[in-house]
Amino acid sequence: GESVGLHLPTLSVQEGDNSIINCAYSNSASDYFIWYKQESGKGPQFIIDIRSNMDKRQGQRVTVLLNKTVKHLSLQIAATQPGDSAVYFCAETYSGSARQLTFGSGTQLTVLP
């Protein structure tokens, strides 16, 4: 079936470095993608989204890149801080699905001092 998966289950980066979290999706009909951050014991928090008519979108310290040709999504975090340590999920959906999200299994980002 369709799935959204992550290339790496864990990622460790030094404080101040840039982080890149990757995500592959398999549903070519997906047209809306979201990145969430989940801290321990809390619900996922919306970070940034991107629609399929865009290749790149920037937020505060975060950038999402979408490559529809290879069905790949990435989240870049600039100047990673200790507060960025969390599990990051990508999610995808498509119009006509009541916007049901399909989530990847998540990447644990650990920021080292």
Partner 1 sequence: SQTIHQWPATLVQPVGSPLSLECTVEGTSNPNLYWYRQAAGRGLQLLFYSVGIGQISSEVPQNLSASRPQDRQFILSSKKLLLSDSGFYLCAWSAGGSQPQHFGDGTRLSIL
Figure out which of the listed residues 45, 58, 67, 81 binds partner 1, where binding follows CB under 8 A. Answer: 45
Compare residues 40 and 69 and give the one whose CB is closer to partner 1: 40
Site for partner 1 in 71-110 (CB under 8 A): 89, 95, 98-101, 103-106
55 binds partner 1 (CB under 8 A): no
Q: Please report the sign of the dihedral spanned by the C-alpha atoms of residue 79, residue 77, residue 89, residue 38.
A: positive
d(CA 76, CA 26): 21
Rounded alpha-carbon distances, angstroms, from residue 65 to 15, 52, 73, 82: 22, 10, 6, 23
Residues near partner 1, by CB under 8 A: 31-32, 34, 36, 41-46, 49, 51, 89, 95, 98-101, 103-106
